[in-house]
Structure 1
Amino acid sequence: MEHAGLLARLRRAALSAGLVFACLGIGGLAGNAAAQGDAPATAKVKIDNGTCLGCHDGTKGKLEVPTAAGKPRALSPVDQQKFEKGVHSQMECVACHADIKDNAEKNNAHQKDAQPLAKVDCASCHQELWEQTVKRGRADDRPRLKAVATNIENYKKSFHARPNPDDKTKPNATCSQCHDTHSFNVPVNKSSTENTQWRLGISERCGSCHSEQLDTYKESVHGKENAKRMLADAATCSDCHFAHKVANTSSEPFKLTVTAQCGNCHGKQFDAYKDTFHGAANTLGYGYTAKCYDCHGSHDIVRVKDPASKVHPDNRLETCGSCHNAKKGLAPVSKGFVSFQPHAEPGNFTRYPEVTAASWGMSGLLIGTFAFFWLHTILWFYREWKDRRERGGGPVHVRVDEVPVALQAKQFQRFTRTWRIAHFTFALSVMVLAITGMPLFYPEVPWAHAVMNFFGGPKVTGLIHRCAATVFASIFFWHLFYVVIKLGRQWRTWKVFGPYSMVPNLKDLQDCIGMFKWFLGQGPRPKIDRWGYWEKFDYWAPFWGVTIIGVSGLIMWMPSFAGQFLPGWVFNVATIFHSEEAFLAVVFLFTVHFFNNHFRPDKFPVDVVMFTGSMPLDEFKKEHPLEYQRLLQSGELEKHLVEPPSKLQMKLSRLLGFTLILIGLTILTLVAIGFFSTGGPSLPAGVVV
């Protein structure tokens, strides 16, 4: 009998798929299951809806039912007109209230000695209907029903489904507390007047339990906007807290998702927030950084120009100080925080002129640098590849007959051990800086979260990043000190534009023009001296790079100190400079620099001169013919010759070279994935803490 009763309930429930959406707030599922062949015709019952509504329409006086506590509970009347317009209108009352049989049976709810009725379980009924749909292989035909089943699972995990602290036998909230199942009908058309009126009532329904929050909400910009315009365009409770996934607001999942809910309405502000350190950490899955509600409030949000706003200029220091304080291990806020723009939009010159100018300037630098050197790289590759093909493959072999036979097996020492160690350390620090910084550039791509987790989260990764930056800067300043000392000793003989100087000169311009002519077959390859113009560019690029990245990094590293002297917009500009210059450095090094030194047809697959310090004489003569001739004619060539590296040294040098190249190309690949996934380098506009 119990099985038959359940089957009857399922058959009646299937007559109206609207039942599914009524109880869970989905709405609009028409009662056409029978027409679609999902269930047979309804079985006959002894009590029809007319009989039920004849008593429960509110005109027969007060109706009560017994409860487990012994105190009768008054029943709310059912408005027949509203019921007939609701999604349950095709349902039989007894399909849900299965305990009601007829008036003649003993222990029936209508008898004086009746036992309390079993609570109607909306979720179980809908879930059973979905399970039957799946068993019949109709799941793909009922996507909205699947959504209901998903909502059921979400509700079971939600804060509302947890046991009530005052009565552990009851959940915090049930379906019927939010939805009037007798008249419920969510308008499907979201642009309709009916849907607007339904949305406008959400806050009141939630406020029946959360009265204090409702009172605060009504005074907020969201509540006032809805009350004033009656368009329901502003946020309601379910927009921020969801309808069936209501979570504890102090839980990590809620913290990670609520800001995205704000972004559904405030798209530009949300995009700008994601470009801050706060937003990037949130996107990566770490909930300890500031969210929208930390700065703007939650139920009490008011417009920024309102003196009561937490982000009003008069209140910003206090608001920022709630997180930036000694208790939380952060330096206290300073006056620069007041004018910082957490939602600055590069491109909106009228409102953010400094940020827009910085963005345009760095974009121009990137475009100009890459346009020139990528064209240079493509043409150089084409020319060397063409020459190799014409001579039948293999590199060019230059004879060094002018050198005594006994010396021809030796190599020319181009870099000392000190410079090789400095190069290796410099390269390693750049790679660590890139791999620890790039996740904040592209927090939405899958690899960013994996990398951040590998290093132990944003805090540990930030520490590693700053340690690598310290090593990077130390090598740079050591080099400056070395150069100054050397110039001090050789100031009388040193020539600013001499062949051994790294200062660009007229010959570099001539060599550059000559190389392009050679690329295009319009002239011979120019003869290069000690340094090529591309090598001088590689040398000077870190000077502006370290200046831009270093100064901007220090500003973000010590925001409270910098904020005592600098306006807030400097932080926005600093982060643009830092991110764009870092992007330029990474892409340039692992494309142009790698090509010039390793990937050219005459160098491929790896050049080990920076690891061994020396190069064969024939290669030296080919790559730097002017220096070779000058040393040969002056008789100084022999002083620069050393024994060739051993086989073990060559193997280790190649292994080291391939390892660094592999790491560099891996970083380049990750950056490329991030770039093409997001449409460009992210511009973090927040202070790194």
Structure 2
Amino acid sequence: MRLNRFDLRAAVAAVLVSLLAGVVGTSQAAPPELDNQKCLSCHAAGKMAIAVPGADGESRELHTVPPDAFAQGVHAKMDCVACHVDITDNAETDHAHRRDPARKAKDCAACHEEMWERAKQDGTAKDRSRLGVVADNIAAYKESFHARKNADDPTRPNASCDECHSSHGFNVPPKDSPQHAEWRLGVPETCGKSCHEESLETFTESIHGEAIFQKKDAKAAVCSDCHSAHAVGNTSLAPFKLAVTAECGNCHEENFKSYKATYHGQINTLGYAYTAKCFDCHGSHDVLAVKNPDSKVHPDNRMKTCKECHNGKKDLPEAPPGFASFQPHGHTGDFDRYPQMWLANQLMVQLLIGTFGFFWLHTLLWFWRELRDRQQGKVRPHVRADAPGLAGDRLAGKHFRRFSATWRIAHLSFALSLMILTLTGIPLFYPDAPWAAPLMKALGGPQVAGTVHRVNAVIFASVFFWHLAYVAVKLARNWKDFRIFGPTSLVPGLQDGKDFIAMLRWFFGKGERPVFDRWTYWEKFDYWAPFWGVTIIGVSGLLMWASTLTATFLPGWVFNVAAIFHSEEAFLAVVFLFTVHFFNNHFRPDKFPLEVVMFTGSMPIAEYRREHALEYERLMKSGELEKYIVDAPSQPMALGSRILGFTLIVAGLTLLTLVAIGFFSSH
């Protein structure tokens, strides 16, 4: 081959420049860079295997690079030596590379982190957001189980980037593309064949593995769905257990929703991992269909599965037979499968709608009419203070004793225990509410909150049963004088119906405001409502508290029904008390902002005369009024009563707000 004059001059110039560089520069010139074509001449897949010494002294074959995969990968435009910067020869004459010990090959994490920092500095981060995702993945990886030093070889991590991603051909296809589906189907083998062979073998036989390997269903769960791709954590720690349960819900939404409605799921949702989760019952890599005889949740195997946790050790007694028929995924929307739950829910829903519909309308009408009367300057009818039998001046500044100390103590105990029951119970009822987890943490966790809840349930029930005994004794002593529908009886009678109709006429401006005797019809409702509420809440709560004893004699669906009755009746009680009851006694215009009679035990005679005019007149005529007249409470007593009253009202409204947030955030 002949060179023309120009080529000759260029060649001579190149030699001179090279010699000059050797003199002026380093004593040994750097060889020309290796290009990708030269690298692939040896490392391309399909080439004859070349054995070289390995790190352990044994020979190993050269790492091969599939040219087609590399050409389609995200690194296709890069030179090999951009990462393998320690290679310093051109490999044209030597069989082995010459490496510069002072130069270390770049690792994936350092390179991408450097690129992201550079993008942030030069203002291109917004346009290169994918780099930020990679940086976040790197940060997660560094904290993961894979980044820890390998137990057998501390010089390397458990898994490095290129072991999962194959840096020479890495390219995650766009989601919803056929290529992405194919890529997902290969994830289990990537994890299994490299490191987790036993897990892969088990997974292959599972319902998830069957969907991946046999049905080629890319939507089925793969390793990275449960373990995550980069933040692979210790499977024995709580964060992983909580996260993997939520991951199950991404595919099994309805089952996850029903699970979260159970005690196990409520505790899990609040951030505590000690109750049963999906994998505790269904398995992890070995999940099988329920109908499969080998499934952990097959009817023949459920008791064995339950006893893995309820084994008689620690705080959990051994699971009784009824546990096997508990419905962890039961819900109220399917009568054919869960008829008991459907019926229980229908009963409680109708009760809620009926109660709130009636009393909220009653409250709104009352409020509207009282405002109208005030605007029109109307005054309430009452019996005159100077009526025959008692001089008016003798009543000045006096009070009427309405409630004894015993009644007041019982009322306060009832109120405090109910509020504490509400406080400790609502995090379980609304575990997804934004306040639920912080509140449960502030209470000391589910175990502490549960203990406090049960202690106050005992107090609440004790006050109730004490009252029954108190009434029974009173009736036994005075049964000859007791009239079941008399004016002092709390038993609803015909007169209450008449009073209610008269109240409705007043609401609509068709009559005067009625006057009442010792007890109004709404006070009687307030009195009798706890008999229903305590029975429903108490019995259902006791069934769940003594779960082992309950399931020894009753089927497991009893717990599903008990949970519905307990939670819905508690909701009814809380919302009714802090809306209707508060209005009737504190928030209606003629009482606002606070009525303290239940704390002081007495009320001004003028107010009593307005509220209970018929009893006032009757006592005056019989000459018995005098024994009920007392001095006004002392200043400290009055102040303390107001402070206590306002404190309870604020507490009640706070609880009502939490319930409202929980209710509307979960519906």
Cα contact 1:67–1:116 (8 A) shared by 2: no
Q: For 1:161, which of 120, 141, 147 is the aligned residue? A: 147
Task: Determine if contact 1:213/1:299 at 8 Å carries over to the other structure.
Answer: yes
Equivalent in 84, 107, 119 of residue 71 of structure 2: 84
Q: What does 1:259-338 align with in structure 2 at a 5 Å threshold?
A: 259-338=245-324
Q: Does 1:429 align with 2:414?
A: no
What is the aligned residue count? 633
Q: 2:172 aligned with 1:186, yes or no?
A: yes
Query: Which residue matches 1:41?
Result: none
Q: 2:188 aligns with which of 198, 203, 213?
A: 203
Letter in 1 for 2:418: V
Q: Deviations over 1:440-493 (max 9, x none)?
A: 011122221122112210001000000000000000011111112222222222
Distance verdict in 2 for CA 1:164–1:426, change over 3 Å:
same
Which residue of 245, 248, 254 maps to 2:231?
245
Q: Distance in 2 between matches of 1:541 and 1:374?
A: 16
What CA distance in whole angstroms lies between the structure 1 residues aligned with 2:251 and 2:293? Answer: 23
What pairs with 1:255-654 in structure 2 (closer than 5 Å)? 255-391=241-377, 399-402=384-387, 403-404=390-391, 405-654=393-642
Q: Is contact 1:410-1:644 (8 Å) kept?
A: yes
SS in 2 for 1:303: coil
TM-fit CA distance, 1:579:
0.3
- Residues 109 and 342 of structure 1: CA distance in aligned 2, closer, same or farther (over 3 Å): farther
Measure how far apart 1:68 and its partner are: 4.5
How far is 1:396 from its partner? 8.8
What secondary structure is seen at the aligned counterpart in 2 of 1:326?
coil
Which of the numbers 666, 672, 676 marks the counterpart of 2:664? 676
Contact 1:333–1:560, Cα closer than 8 Å, also in 2: yes
Q: Note the residue ranges of structure 1 that are not aligned, 5 or more in a row.
A: 1-43, 680-689
* Mean CA deviation greater in 77-86 or 349-358: 77-86
- CA–CA separation in structure 2 for the residues paired with 1:223 and 1:60: 35
Cα drift, residue 66 of structure 1: 4.8
Residue deviations 1:532-556 (CA, integer Å, cap 9, x gap): 1111111111000000000000010
Give the Cα separation in 1 of the matches to 2:154 and 2:196.
19
* Pairwise CA distance, 1:54: 2.1
Aligned to 2:156: 170
Question: Does the 8 Å CA contact 1:274/1:280 hold for their aligned counterparts?
Answer: yes
Note the C-alpha offset of 1:137.
2.0
Instruction: Give the CA deviation at 1:70.
Output: 4.0
What letter corresponds to residue 77 of structure 1 in structure 2? T
What amino acid maps onto 1:194 in structure 2? Q
| 1:74 shift after superposition | 2.1
Gap change, CA 1:111 and 1:176, over 3 Å in 2:
closer
Structure 1 contact 341–569 (Cα < 8 Å) conserved: yes
Match of 1:222 in 2: 208
Asked whether the 8 Å contact 2:87–2:97 carries over to 1, the reply is no
Question: What value does the CA root-mean-square deviation take over the aligned residues?
Answer: 2.1
* 2:17 counterpart residue number: none
- Any idea what SS the aligned residue of 2:372 has? helix
Q: C-alpha distance in 2, partners of 1:104/1:60?
A: 16
- 1:84 maps to amino acid: A
Letter of the 1:669 counterpart: T
| 1:661 and 2:646 aligned | no
Partner of 2:83: 96
Q: Which has the larger radius of gyration?
A: 2
Task: Determine which structure has greater relative contact order: mean sequence separation of CA pairs < 8 Å that are 6+ residues apart, divided by chain length.
Answer: 1
CA distance in 1, matches of 2:386, 2:128: 85
In 1, are the aligned partners of 2:87 and 2:100 still within 8 Å (CA)? no
Distance 1:45 1:247, change over 3 A: farther
Q: 1:318, 1:124 → 2: CA distance? A: 50
Question: For residues 314-354 of structure 1, what are the alpha-carbon distances to aligned partners after superposition, in whole Å with 9 as ceiling and x for unaligned?
Answer: 21112111212331212221111111101112111121111
C-alpha distance in structure 2 between counterparts of 1:469 and 1:585, whole Å: 14
- 2:233 maps to a residue whose letter is A
The C-alpha deviation readout for 1:68-94, integer Å capped at 9, x for no partner, is 544444223222122212222222212
Amino acid at match of 1:522: K
1:109 & 1:539 partners in 2: Cα distance?
Answer: 97
Q: In structure 1, how many angstroms separate the alpha carbons of the residues matched to 2:337 and 2:349?
A: 19
For 1:371, what is the secondary structure of its paired residue? helix
User: Would the aligned equivalents of 1:395 and 1:602 in 2 still touch at CA under 8 Å?
Assistant: no
Deviations 1:410-459 (A, max 9, x none): 21111000000000000000000000000101112222112211221000
The alpha-carbon distance between structure 1 residues 117 and 221, as it changes in their structure 2 partners (threshold 3 A), is farther
Report the CA distance between 1:111 and its aligned residue: 4.0
How many percent of aligned residue pairs carry the same amino acid?
Answer: 59
Q: In 2, Cα distance between the equivalents of 1:499 and 1:666?
A: 37
Please state how far the C-alpha of 1:119 moved relative to its aligned partner.
Answer: 4.8
Q: TM-score normalised to the size of structure 1?
A: 0.88
Tell me how far apart the structure 1 counterparts of residues 102 and 119 of structure 2 sit (CA, whole Å): 32
Q: Return closer, same or farther for 1:624/1:180 CA change in 2, 3 Å cut-off.
A: same
| 3-state secondary structure, aligned to 1:446 | coil
